[in-house]
Amino acid sequence: MAKLNVAIIPGNGAGGDIRSCNWYGWLQDELQPGIECRLRDMPDPYYAKSSVWLPFMQKSLRCDESTVVVGHSSGAVAALRYAETHRVRGIILVSAYLSDLGDSVEAASGYFDGEWNWQAISSNSSFIVQFASKDDHLVPFSEQLKVTAELRQHGEVDLQEFEDRNHFMQSAFPELAHIIRARTQT
């Protein structure tokens, strides 16, 4: 197997210098030099269209069977859609959802135009971890649990439940770094 790497897929709206947004740059610094961590400014950062982001994940972030894809918010949705057709080492979802939440920007992204292939997502990843917070002001906890329920029908998902992390927009995320190391034994 090729050398392990991590690709961080941010949420939409995270424009500008992605390293300074939320915990993204912190995680990259925390994991390196032991794990290659791919973090790039995303094209189309506001709408996060699937037609733009999924090819970018393949070509620029080189997400493959050696990659742990860490997706936050709409980045989690992109990670799920990517794993429908691509083998990855693992998927870590942060504030994941499976509908457009009644939001016109989400509806325009293209991620919710077709049925989900939960079996392929589970089969194309050796592990899935999901971080969810009950007080998330953007993604209802019930929506996050729907993702868990769908995934568990076809495989295992490790649900990391929190009471007080809101939309996981803190500047550090030690639990995430710990999970990556534990799941990849580095």
Q: Largest Cα–Cα distance of the chain, in whole Å?
A: 41
C-alpha to C-alpha distances, 46 to 13, 121, 137, nearest whole angstrom: 4, 25, 19
H or E stretch covering 1: none
Contact 50, 110 (CB under 8 A): yes
Q: From the candidates 50, 73, 122, 125, which is the catalytic residue?
A: 73
- 113 given a catalytic annotation: no
- 136 given a catalytic annotation: yes
Alpha-carbon torsion angle 138, 85, 125, 116, nearest 10: 50
Q: From the candidates 50, 74, 125, 136, which is the catalytic residue?
A: 136
Single out the residue of 2, 176, 184, 178 nearest to residue 92, CA to CA. Answer: 176
- 167 given a catalytic annotation: yes
Q: From the candidates 64, 66, 158, 167, which is the catalytic residue?
A: 167
Catalytic residue set = 73, 136, 167
